[in-house]
Amino acid sequence: MQKNFVQCANADSSCNYLESFDFIFILHLMKEIMGITDLLRQALQKQPQDVVNAMLLVRSTKTLIQDLRENGRDKLFANVVSICENHDIEFHDLNDCHSTTRFRRSRLKENVTIKHYFTIDFFYYH
């Protein structure tokens, strides 16, 4: 009986996480990154590449990922918000403080909004 209760609680907790803004954001971010790196994988598997050509492919992949980091995060964020709204998935006010705080070198706490965390900090610290 105890085992079933624990399994149900674990299943409920897992289901809640799968229906969270955090999970959906990470899933869509991974989808974008995997799409970019898949282009490199396909190119490298087509035929043996010389070192110079392989370095060019890596450099272009790096540029695409950097572009996602600098210019694609707002689109990604808007897409995730839209999915949450369409599927009635709750998420906090994006202007609320994120639950984690960072310390600067001066050791002063900095309050970070949820939107700032997912559009800026997440890309640089994860």
As given in the structure block, the two tokens for residue 2 are 């105890």
Strand partners, 121: none
Give the residue extent of every domain in the chain. Answer: 24-91, 93-126
Write down the pLDDT at residue 126: 58
Kindly give the confidence (pLDDT) of every residue in the chain, 126 residues in length, as a single tens digit, with 9 standing for 90 and above. Answer: 567 877 777 777 777 777 788 888 889 999 999 999 998 888 888 777 677 788 888 999 999 988 988 888 888 888 988 998 998 888 777 788 877 654 444 444 567 787 777 777 776 665
* b/e map 51-69, b = 16+ CB within 10 Å: eeeeeebeeebeebbeebe
pTM of structure: 0.70
